[in-house]
Amino acid sequence: MTKRFDSAVERAGPRFAPWLSDTNDLTSRNIEASRIPGLVNLSGGLPDPVLLPTKALGRIATTVIRDYPHDCFGYGPTAGLPQLREAIARRYRARGVPVVAENVLVTASGTQTLDLVGKLLAVPGDTIVCEFPSYAGAFDAWRPRDPKYRHLGLRAGDDLRANMAGAAFAYLIPNFSNPTGYLVTEEERLRLIAAAWTSGTPLVEDDPYGSLYYDGDPIPTMLRLASLGRENLDDCPVIHLASLSKQLAPGMRIGWIIAAPATIRALNTAKQATDLCSNGLAQCMAAAAMEAGLIEECHPRIVSLYRTRRDALCAAMSRHIDDWFTWEVPVGGMFVWATARDPRIDVDLLVDVGMETGVLVGAGHHFDPLRIAPPAIRLSFTFNDETKLELGISRLAQALEALGTRASSVPQRSCSSEMGA
Amino acid sequence: MTKRFDSAVERAGPRFAPWLSDTNDLTSRNIEASRIPGLVNLSGGLPDPVLLPTKALGRIATTVIRDYPHDCFGYGPTAGLPQLREAIARRYRARGVPVVAENVLVTASGTQTLDLVGKLLAVPGDTIVCEFPSYAGAFDAWRPRDPKYRHLGLRAGDDLRANMAGAAFAYLIPNFSNPTGYLVTEEERLRLIAAAWTSGTPLVEDDPYGSLYYDGDPIPTMLRLASLGRENLDDCPVIHLASLSKQLAPGMRIGWIIAAPATIRALNTAKQATDLCSNGLAQCMAAAAMEAGLIEECHPRIVSLYRTRRDALCAAMSRHIDDWFTWEVPVGGMFVWATARDPRIDVDLLVDVGMETGVLVGAGHHFDPLRIAPPAIRLSFTFNDETKLELGISRLAQALEALGTRASSVPQRSCSSEMGA
């Protein structure tokens, strides 16, 4: 895997590292879609901008610039401003997890938590264990580390310890996986923690959607379960990732990692080499927003709007595409994962034909490099209102008709029975 | 270079990637220094916080949050908000460089420009060419790419084409190198560009200090020289890095890369995998600050203060440490590079003894992994006022006395003659 400059092509500009050419086209598709008037984008996992508390954030910005001008605009500590590390720690302590500031590294977004974890734990050629399908953006973040992948097999009931053994780390989104929307049960979480202990493999818990429960009580995070009865996280096998993007405002680019102090110190070195420190104003605003209870204030409106839209999307799916797809209604998060009844479906062709009929959906294989799951699509319900969700799914049905792949088999499962409606 | 978990140590927590253990101790020394009351830190390259235009930035924050709330707090394009890409392009066009928005990638700091260039151009095992001594933070940023290094030999008059041939890229800070303060001449810049053309090796021009000229007229950047007489940057061999950290406010974490459109598109993919997009509010503020002329407003005060301090540092050096060190007075930037007259000096011991006498200086070898240069120290003059600079250097002289390494040789060059004072 060497890269050299060929004199014959020197005028054609530099050669780029090979990992760059492997990236999926989900994002470029989304950008393309944003340029097509009237197209309904069900692919991107975007929050609805109407939920941004812009006025409250504006007031907070004014206050923190007045009170902490040097924290806002000078260089800050690599691991984050002390007041934000402490504010984050306090939130976890309030939920019964023994987190102190030394367990917290502030990052510039959830994506940066993934980049730093890859730099921290993966050496080129290492194996990363995931429950596939899994988040495509994480694969992007780790591609420069040139990893191999192994399937965790949690839902298949595999031997977790055996599958995790010898890997750089195991990665999971227990609260409403992106893309599947699956909620890992408490029993499964306990099995994962036990496997992390016995295999010695760190368990990376990515939790961007943990505040987006639409039904029932939240299940404790793996971080919490692993620390039950302990006074600190010193030998905790869980590395916990989170961000403000889905709770407050993605443009703030504030994320964080919770882990044992030794892990945080090593991550500090990795972040120093990556961007030295995060934006000061955003950190001051995040700390002040936590202090003022702004996240809790925003929470009911976010959950209520997204719950309605989840129900609207699934109802539209039942009306229009039940003959072609099966799905589970997610308890939370942003996505519905729809599996094709006919495994012969050409999902990439469906995406193309969908674009022609005015709807964009995400091809499932981008989330599934080992092709563990049958053909599927990912649908997001957070960005579009109910009218657009109905329009998008009815267009998807047109695309399916046009594709001529209507399955003749008996439906295996219908949305309405899952919803209990 | 594999990393596996040893069952004997599994309770000791995860193993970290080997690159993390190679990092220099400059930063940890600086943190240690900040905890010692009265210690004069001449090691860190910090701007003086009194120069931060916090009131003006506060007014700008209020305005952009009111006018562009979704740009400030929603997800933005990976390459940067269009208004900031255009504002940056306009600044370069005003200096005669044919830059358009498609040539600009906005980053979250100068350090991120280095991380992204490493991810873009270096495959593990590749060679990076630098004029040593060079910036230690760049080595940190590239360490995850596991590069080899080769000396450029610009000042030694080496064959640049031969030294650049086959490398992933060549890296240079032409305007007041960190750590040496050296200003690359226009003739040398033209030789470098010619070598980039003939070798096919991209030339990375890092320009964080380009606004910090204290004497004489600025020399055109290599980006400008390489684009003279051209209508665009399409086949420009220079990749130009810059940031707002030394011109406006480091806490904003706004940097950028200027390059050919194909390079910017590939960098866009790398940034997407690194942090998805930069902070929206900081980007809106940067665009508005450029629009309002705030950088130009701040410039005279920054230059005037730092010029006075450079002169004060060099005068104190002439008074106190001329018997032990030689140096060139830098035309700009933040650093003076002092070379030991006696090559037998133990610089690490000097740093330790300096800490005991109340002054911190940077050991030169951190910037010089190939040990090209004789033993030296890096001194920064931007953060401390004249009284503290005098105090720090007099303490350094005490440390040198204590070290007992006073050279008996005839001084080769004195500061006063260089300064023309």
A170: which strand partners? A129, A203
Mean pLDDT of all residues in A100-129: 97
Homologous superfamily of domain range B7-52+298-419: Aspartate Aminotransferase, domain 1 (3.90.1150.10)
CB-CB neighbors (< 8 A) of A17 in chain B: 119-123
**pLDDT, tens digit, 9 for 90 and up, residues A15-33:** 899 999 877 778 777 877 8
- Say whether B206 sits in a helix, a strand or coil: strand
Phi, psi of A325 (to 5 degrees): -130, 155
Residue A2 has pLDDT above 80, yes or no: no
Q: Which of residues 191-220 of B touch A (CB under 8 A)?
A: 197, 199-202
In contact, A160 and A195? CB cutoff 8 Å: yes
Residue-level pLDDT at A24: 74
Residue-level pLDDT at B282: 98
At A408, is the pLDDT very low, low, confident or very high (cuts 50, 70, 90)? very low
Residue A419 has pLDDT above 50, yes or no: no
Longest dimension (CA), chain A: 67
Residue A244 has pLDDT above 70, yes or no: yes
Inter-chain touch B253–A5, beta carbons under 8 Å? no
Residue-level pLDDT at A23: 73
Residue-level pLDDT at B405: 52
Any chain B CB within 8 A of the CB of A228?
no
CA distances (Å), A73 to each of B50, B109, B395, in order? 11, 13, 31
- Say whether A335 sits in a helix, a strand or coil: strand
Homologous superfamily of domain range A7-52+299-419: Aspartate Aminotransferase, domain 1 (3.90.1150.10)
Rounded to the nearest integer, the mean pLDDT of chain A is 92
**pLDDT, tens digit, 9 for 90 and up, residues A151-166:** 999 999 999 999 999 9
- The rounded distance, in Å, linking the Cα atoms of A322 and A330 is 16
Tokens of B270: 């790398």
When mean pLDDT is compared across A25-29, A47-51, A90-94, A221-225, the lowest value belongs to A25-29
Cα nearest neighbour of B68 on chain A: A54
Inter-chain touch A137–B27, beta carbons under 8 Å? no
Q: How far is B17 from chain A (nearest CA, A)?
A: 5
Mean pLDDT of all residues in A86-115: 98
Residue-level pLDDT at B408: 43
Determine how many CB atoms are found less than 10 A away from the CB of residue A194: 14
Residue A205 has pLDDT above 90, yes or no: yes
A360: which strand partners? A41
In contact, B104 and B89? CB cutoff 8 Å: yes
From the list B389, B396, B392, B381, the residue with the least C-alpha distance to B333 is: B381
Cα nearest neighbour of B52 on chain A: A73
Q: Report the half-sphere exposure of B66 (CA within 13 A, side-chain side).
A: 9
- Say whether B305 sits in a helix, a strand or coil: helix
The three-point CA angle B391-B394-B396 to 5° equals 110
Determine how many CB atoms are found less than 10 A away from the CB of residue B70: 15
Written as one letter, the residue type at B222 is: M
Which parts of chain B register pLDDT below 50?
1-11, 406-421
CB-CB neighbors (< 8 A) of B233 in chain A: none
Share of chain A above pLDDT 90, in %: 87
Determine how many CB atoms are found less than 10 A away from the CB of residue B166: 17
Mean pLDDT of all residues in A115-140: 97
**pLDDT, tens digit, 9 for 90 and up, residues A283-331:** 999 999 999 999 999 999 999 999 999 999 999 999 999 999 999 999 9
Out of B7, B126, B166, the one facing A200 most closely (by C-beta) is B7
- Bond into A179 cis (ω within 30): yes
Tokens of B276: 């998805």
Substitution target from B109, B233, B276 for chain A, most A beta carbons within 10 A: B276
CATH 3.90.1150.10 intervals, chain B: 7-52+298-419
CATH 3.40.640.10 intervals, chain A: 74-296
The DSSP string of B229-295 is T-S-STT--EEEEEESTTTT-GGG--EEEE--HHHHHHHHHHHHTTTSS--HHHHHHHHHHHHHTHH
ipTM score for this prediction: 0.93
Q: How far is A264 from chain B (nearest CA, A)?
A: 11
Cα nearest neighbour of B9 on chain A: A200
Determine how many CB atoms are found less than 10 A away from the CB of residue A202: 27
B40 CB contacts (<8 Å, ≥6 apart)? B358, B359, B360, B384, B388, B389, B391, B392, B395
CA distances (Å), A91 to each of A75, A98, A100, A290, B395, in order? 25, 10, 10, 8, 46
**What is the DSSP pairing of strand A362-363 with strand B169-172?**
unpaired
Q: Which of residues 132-161 of B touch A (CB under 8 A)?
A: 137, 140-141, 143-146
DSSP A109: S
Residue-level pLDDT at B25: 75
Q: Report the half-sphere exposure of B64 (CA within 13 A, side-chain side).
A: 26
A23 CB contacts (<8 Å, ≥6 apart)? A140, A143, B269, B272, B273
B53 CB contacts (<8 Å, ≥6 apart)? B248, B249, B294, B297, B298
CB-CB neighbors (< 8 A) of B201 in chain A: 5, 14
Residue-level pLDDT at A405: 52
DSSP B157: T
Inter-chain touch A253–B108, beta carbons under 8 Å? yes
Any chain A CB within 8 A of the CB of B293?
no
In contact, A180 and A161? CB cutoff 8 Å: no
In contact, B113 and A275? CB cutoff 8 Å: no
The DSSP string of B351-406 is HHHHHHHTEE-EEGGGG-TT--SPSEEEEE-SSS-HHHHHHHHHHHHHHHHHHT--
Residue-level pLDDT at B356: 94
Instruction: Decide if domain B54-296 falls under CATH 3.40.640.10.
Output: yes
CATH 3.90.1150.10 intervals, chain A: 7-52+299-419
In the CATH scheme, what architecture does the domain A74-296 have?
3-Layer(aba) Sandwich (3.40)
Q: How far is A94 from chain B (nearest CA, A)?
A: 26
Q: How far is A29 from chain B (nearest CA, A)?
A: 13
Out of A16, A52, A260, the one facing B13 most closely (by C-beta) is A260
Q: Which of residues 92-111 of A touch B (CB under 8 A)?
A: 108-109, 111
Any chain A CB within 8 A of the CB of B35?
no
Cα nearest neighbour of B114 on chain A: A274
